Structure 1
């Protein structure tokens, strides 16, 4: 009877429940447990495994470059990173409010790590997240325009509850990059959250975006006005703790 139950659980894709039940039967751990209690134990075990698998899948699909954690953030004074403010951001309320985050600072100040730590936190909360180097995203979108999959690729990005555009502005945008950025930002504005990290101060973004002033104005208006700002300072942290 137990073997049949275990097989049926496996066939219903309740593997964690099946394994725990088999273990309890083999180790004779069923004495003194009511039916309701035992059902709750099996159900909780199956639920926890599914949630863990979902988190692992979200982290894998996010394509992070680093294993970053909120717990490992360094708040020393010279970084100009307000701990209370950042911990409030780590609750992810900004995602619920469809707000953005802009992280600026010199090379090595930990912009990418902080962005990925927030992204990892979002995955832990079950949020679909994607991390990418901005220039590489633009290159991929150019290829998608050639093979006719641009709208499909754009839709994938726009479905992400949190999109992280890292290393924004390292080079000036050309016409296609500008169009892609406008499409991404316009579709996400007021609907999804975006984190942008850059070595370039926001005051110089207008020139980097280039093109007609109305396009740059439209992009910056949608990004900046609904963003929390983090301006990192201090020396490079690449050899120390992030």
Structure 2
């Protein structure tokens, strides 16, 4: 192991990437041909890369995305009504900074959740905070948290991430507790943060799913007023993509 006072100082400063680069450069016979500026540049590049990778790893761990999806693997050839121009624009992420929402609707198996996770992964790569939640499970956990005194903390967490993904919304009508929680979530996020909602049910039928007309009006006004919409169609991709399950 290389024993060098400069390396010891780099370690003391917590510059792990720079330390590894220093060791590699010290062992490279071509290093003496580098100028001081080039040497320093290589050290800094490695440190920046290591920190960026570590930050991304932390973002992804906290995001808890359901699918290991990436925008580079999106299949635009499938006959499911995915507007390539619109999706490419969404990939840029300006809608997240503008605190807009996105609704991905369509029948089961057409890739709604996968596409949402791909956008979530890209947001993590762009150093934005992301959180994935399946709506039915979330409402159950919020009801339990209310009984245990953790409800307020959970609501605050849902309100602070840059991008919240609510997957599988509308699988069952909302009860009074879920309606109240959903209103709190969308109220906290409206105009402040971006939200993706995926659903097998078209937004035109969400009013009856929410149930109470007053709650429904308030929730849908906040969710759909500034929402981009992608309505997918066609048969389940699971029937035709058994050979490539990580592509959607």
- Settle same-fold status: TM greater than 0.5: yes
Q: How far has the Cα of 1:77 moved from its partner?
A: 6.0
Q: What's the offset of the Cα at 1:21?
A: 0.6
CA contact (8 A) 2:104 2:198 kept: yes
**C-alpha distance after superposition, 1:67-115 (max 9, x if no partner):** 1111222223621111111101111111011100001000111110111
- Residue 114 of structure 2 is matched in structure 1 by 113
Deviations 1:32-82 (A, max 9, x none): 222222112101110111001111111121111211111222223621111
Q: Which residue of 1 aligns with 2:230?
A: 230
- The residue that corresponds to 1:171 in the other structure is 172
Deviations 1:14-46 (A, max 9, x none): 011111111211234431222222112101110
User: 1:86-235 counterparts in 2 under 5 A?
Assistant: 86-211=87-212, 213-235=213-235
Structure 1, unaligned runs of 5 or more: none
Output the TM-score relative to the length of structure 2.
0.93
Query: 8 Å contact 2:21–2:42 — kept in the other structure?
Result: no
Deviations 1:171-223 (A, max 9, x none): 11111111110010000000000000000111110011112x12110100011
Q: Which runs of 5+ in 2 are unaligned?
A: 242-246
Distance 1:157 1:29, change over 3 A: farther
CA–CA distance in 1 between the matches of 2:43 and 2:195?
39
SS of residue paired to 1:78: coil
Separation in structure 2 between the aligned mates of residue 56 and residue 77 of structure 1, nearest angstrom: 31
Q: Whole-Å Cα distance in 2 between the matches of residues 140 and 39 of structure 1?
A: 50
Q: Which moved more, 1:27-36 or 1:78-87?
A: 27-36
Alpha-carbon separation, structure 2, partners of 1:131 and 1:217: 25
Equivalent residues of 2:170, 2:206 under 8 A apart: yes
Mapped to 2, the partners of 1:2 and 1:159 lie a distance apart of 45
Shift of 1:153: 1.1
